[in-house]
Amino acid sequence: MIIEGKTGSWEIVVGLEVHAQVVSQSKLFSGASATYGGEPNAQVSLVDAAFPGMLPVINGYVVEQAIKTGLGIEATVNEVSVFDRKNYFYADLPQGYQISQYTRPIVSGGRLVIDLPGDTTKTIGVTRLHLEQDAGKSMHDQSPTKSYIDLNRSGVALMEIVSEPDIRSPEEAGAYLKKLRAILRYLGTCDGNMEEGSMRCDANVSVRKVGATEFGTRNEIKNVNSIRHVMQAIEYEANRQVEALEAGETIRQETRLWDVARGVTRSMRSKEHAHDYRYFPDPDLLPLILDPEAIARIKTSMPELPDAKKARFVDAYKLSPYDAGVLVAEQEQADFFETVAKGRKDPKLAANWVIVELFGALNKKGVDVTNSPVSAKNLAGLLDLIENETISGRIAKDVFQFMVETGKDAASIVAEKGLVQVTDTGAIDAAIAKVMAENAAKVDEYRAGKTTLFGWFVGQVMKGTGGKANPAKVNEILKAKLSG
């Protein structure tokens, strides 16, 4: 995106840091439960509360999850990585430091292909992925005189995934987050739930004159909790920086907050410098050394990821890239579609029904595909009835509505409501004869050359048969009869 300013055109430069909570029963260095929403301080081990003498023990499953994620973003998994202490004082950080990875992360040098309008893509570099602990939560709004601390989150495993400053617009940032979330969810390494905070995003934003080779000074907008808000915050912040620079101000590097209510970013603090954290290798933890064979084993067990699945859908089912992209956004949607489409003559019909009718109905009901009242098997059954001409596409829509309401299968509904398509030519002949007899003047007009009336005749015959006549047969017979 280009911002047209008073002094010229400006380019937006964005790099995103995503904190993704690792799907794991227990925390990064303790056995306490990592599940969301527990009673405050019910999921805290002595390690998480930093009792003296307690030692961290690395959670092997979390390490596997990080490896999987690294492979999912086509990155290098480093056989040696190191845990460092990032020192700062805050009440919800009982250790007085966060265990993180600084100079030697577990994963480096990945990439993510994002989908942009017009079926175009762009590759965004991923600088690194490292493991670190989450902090606890301070609550300042529970009492007028006290602050409360909930340590349930203290020590929960996070993957910090840092992008290169390759992103050039709010839309690209949104596409990056969507793709990253999809990959994490496919892999089962993070549930991607931004409202519950299991995926949080900091957006680094700067602007520069179009054509400039150096980056401008960036600001970091912290912890924005939805993709839409990240996009809005970037747009606001970039415009604010352009206005400031054009007014002759300089941008100071600082940390800012997105104020949802006012739709603005606000300064929180000037940027701490890395050396203030006094990073040093955690003496309680040995370097993390990975077995290359274990990495290779994980590599062979990787699921098909969204980009590969999309390409396969386009190829195998002849879908448009757009439709394929919609279907693969969630693994459960893609699986649903494949169950409906497998072995079908017309898989595009299946795609249309899933995307338009099914997703429309689910949207209205506010449920996702895993709770669909119409099962994939039942939707396949409905499409079978269309393909073997038991019902018309028109009637199928009514049948589908009944399926949504009752959860019954298509064949039962068709039988119950007597909706079987009329292909019996005798019945169609009779309906046509009736329409022609009642509209003799129109028949004359048609025969005199006003052939545009044909559609009207079709409509009348369909109406006369309660929409149940086979449209192809109606067309064929009507054409013959009208031409005399």
Binding site for ligand ADP (CB under 6 A): 13-17, 162-165, 204-206, 215-216, 218
Give the C-alpha distances (Å, rounded to integers) separating 194 from 127, 171, 191, 286, 305: 22, 18, 9, 33, 21
d(CA 248, CA 477): 78
Among 234, 300, 191, which residue's Cα sits nearest to residue 11? 234
Q: Which stretch binds Mg ion (CB under 5 A): 17-25, 181-189, 411-419, 465-473?
A: 17-25
Pick from ligand ADP, Mg ion, none: which does 334 bind, CB < 5 to 8 A by kind? Answer: none
Strand partners, 209: 10
Toward ligand ADP, which CB reaches closer, 216 or 381?
216
Of 208 and 348, which CB lies nearer to ligand ADP in the complex structure? Answer: 208
How many residues would you count in the chain? 484
**Residue count, binding to Mg ion (CB under 5 A):** 1
Select 166 or 323, whichever has its Cβ closest to ligand ADP. Answer: 166
The partner in contact with residue 204, picked from Mg ion, ligand ADP, none with C-beta cut-offs of 5 to 8 angstroms by kind, is ligand ADP
Name which of ligand ADP, Mg ion, none residue 13 binds, using a CB cut-off of 5 to 8 Å depending on partner kind: ligand ADP
Q: Which stretch binds Mg ion (CB under 5 A): 12-20, 168-176, 302-310, 392-400?
A: 12-20
Sign of CA dihedral 412, 415, 416, 417: positive
The CA-based angle 127-133-138, given to 5 degrees, is: 120
Which residue's Cβ has the minimum distance to Mg ion? 17
Instruction: Choose among Mg ion, ligand ADP, none what residue 15 binds, the Cβ cut-off being 5 to 8 Å by kind.
Output: ligand ADP
Partner that binds at residue 215, options ligand ADP, Mg ion, none, CB closer than 5 to 8 Å by kind: ligand ADP
Shortest distance in whole angstroms from residue 222 CB to Mg ion: 9
- Residue 206: contacted member of ligand ADP, Mg ion, none (CB under 5 to 8 Å, by partner type): ligand ADP
Separation CA 219–CA 252 (nearest Å) = 8
User: At closest approach, how far in Å is the CB of 95 from Mg ion?
Assistant: 20
* 91-94 contact pairs (CB < 8 A, 24+): 91/138, 91/147, 91/149, 92/135, 92/136, 92/137, 92/138, 92/149, 92/151, 92/154, 93/135, 93/136, 93/154, 94/48, 94/49, 94/50, 94/136, 94/151, 94/154
**178 or 397, CB closer to ligand ADP?**
178
Q: How far is the CB of 235 from ligand ADP (least distance, A)?
A: 14
Binding-site partner at residue 153 among Mg ion, ligand ADP, none, CB < 5 to 8 Å by type: none
- Mask: binding to Mg ion, 393-422, rule CB under 5 A, as x and -? ------------------------------
Supply the minimum distance, in Å, between the C-beta of residue 375 and ligand ADP: 43
Q: Which is nearer to ligand ADP, 175 or 396 (CB)?
A: 175
- Closest approach, Cβ 13 to ligand ADP, in A, equals 4
Shortest spacing between CB 277 and Mg ion, in angstroms: 11
Residue (105 or 347) nearer to ligand ADP, CB: 105
Say which residues have a Cβ less than 8 Å from residue 229's Cβ, sequence separation at least 6. 258, 260
Q: Which is nearer to Mg ion, 201 or 354 (CB)?
A: 201
Q: Which is nearer to ligand ADP, 12 or 477 (CB)?
A: 12
Tokens of 146: 């006290």
**Torsion sign over Cα 364, 181, 376, 423:** positive
Decide whether 112 or 162 has the Cβ nearer to ligand ADP: 162
Question: Is 22 in a helix, a strand, or coil?
Answer: coil
Q: Helices in 342-453 by DSSP H: which ranges?
A: 347-352, 359-365, 376-387, 393-406, 410-417, 425-438, 440-447
Partner whose footprint covers residue 45, from Mg ion, ligand ADP, none (CB < 5 to 8 Å by kind): none
Phi/psi class of residue 177: alpha, beta or left (left: φ > 0; alpha: ψ in -120 to 50)?
A: alpha
User: From CA 263, how far away is CA 237, in angstroms rounded?
Assistant: 10
Contacts of 233 (CB under 8 A, 6+ apart): 203, 221, 224, 258, 265
Q: In angstroms, what is the minimal distance from the CB of 108 to ligand ADP? A: 12
Please give the full DSSP string across 154-219, using - where no structure is assigned.
Answer: TT-EEEEEEE-S-B-SHHHHHHHHHHHHHHHHHHTS----TTTTSEEEEEEEEEEETT--S----E
* Both tokens assigned to 293: 């064979």
**Considering the complex, what minimum distance in angstroms separates the CB of residue 231 from ligand ADP?**
15
Q: Which is nearer to ligand ADP, 92 or 164 (CB)?
A: 164
> Based on CB atoms, which residue is closest to Mg ion, 15 or 325?
15
Binding region for Mg ion (CB under 5 A) out of 15-23, 42-50, 281-289, 381-389: 15-23
- Residue 247 CB, shortest distance to ligand ADP, in Å, is 20
Distance CA 429, CA 443 (A): 16
Q: Could you tell me the smallest distance in angstroms from the CB atom of residue 99 to ligand ADP?
A: 16
Q: Residue 14 binds which entry of Mg ion, ligand ADP, none, with Cβ cut-offs from 5 to 8 Å by kind? A: ligand ADP
Minimum distance, C-beta of residue 112 to ligand ADP, in the bound complex (Å): 12
> Which residue lies nearer to Mg ion by CB, 17 or 389?
17
- Binding residues for Mg ion, rule: CB under 5 A, are 17
